[in-house]
Amino acid sequence: MSQAPVIDARRFCRESRRLEGVLGLRAFPRLDDLLAHREGEVAFVLEGIPGENGEARLRLEVRGVLSLVCQRCLEAVEETLVIERLLELVEEIDSSITPEELEDERLDFLPLTGALDLAELIEEEILLALPVAPRHAACAAPRPAGVVSGAHPFSVLSSLKAR
């Protein structure tokens, strides 16, 4: 597993460079609460490409498998990541970007004023790609301790009332 570099994104695009590698999930601290376990890695490819009018653009691909916590049964559920983004570097999101450009789903805008931390960019894209409530296609909700399958949920309360 390699460490993600910090790059000069504009120069990277201008020189049409390409960078690929693998990062361990420990490189992404904001994923901690979502992961069932931290083992694993994601592969990435980053390419600098020119836009139609000479804009600085990055093409990012991220692939991997994450073990998330199922929101129904609280067990691990595997989520396959396949992320492909085209990012145009801009100083800031302002009125010079037309509404049509903002609605174009093939292109996203990345406000960038300095160096680009690749691990932060990849982590952000992973967070955006994950489901809001990951869960298995079919699983049962966890039962509280002491509740017998098929028992009425309020039967425990009635036994407490009798005391």
The rounded distance, in Å, linking the Cα atoms of 21 and 4 is 8
Distance from CA of residue 122 to its chain's centroid? Answer: 7
Phi, psi of 144 (to 5 degrees): -60, 155
SS (H, E, C) the chain: CCCCCEECHHHHHHCCCEEEEEEEHHHCHHHHHHECCCCCEEEEEEEEEECCCCCEEEEEEEEEEEEEECCCCCCEEEEEEEEEEEEEEECCCCCCCCHHHHHCCCCEEEECCCCEEHHHHHHHHHHHHCCCCCCCCCCCCCCCCCCCCCCCCCHHHHHHHHC
pLDDT score of 44 more than 60: yes
User: Span 92-121, mean pLDDT?
Assistant: 72
For the chain, the structural domain boundaries read 6-162
State residue 1's pLDDT score: 43
State residue 101's pLDDT score: 61
Task: State the pLDDT confidence band at 162, using cuts at 50, 70 and 90.
Answer: low
Q: Which residues touch 161 (CB under 8 Å, ≥6 apart)? A: none
Bigger pLDDT: 122 or 97? 122
State residue 149's pLDDT score: 60
**Structure-token pair, residue 80:** 């396959």
User: Span 151-155, mean pLDDT?
Assistant: 68
The rounded distance, in Å, linking the Cα atoms of 31 and 35 is 6
**Structure-token pair, residue 113:** 């004023």
State residue 2's pLDDT score: 54
**Structure-token pair, residue 120:** 């932060």
Beta bridge partners of 58: 48, 87
Q: What is the pLDDT of residues 50-81, one digit of tens each?
A: 877 778 889 999 999 999 988 888 888 899 99
State residue 102's pLDDT score: 59
State residue 54's pLDDT score: 77
pLDDT score of 97 more than 90: no
Radius of gyration of the chain (CA): 22
State residue 9's pLDDT score: 86
The whole-model pTM stands at: 0.76
pLDDT score of 95 more than 70: no
Q: Average pLDDT of the chain?
A: 82
Task: State the pLDDT confidence band at 142, using cuts at 50, 70 and 90.
Answer: low
Q: Which residue is associated with the tokens 């693998």?
A: 22
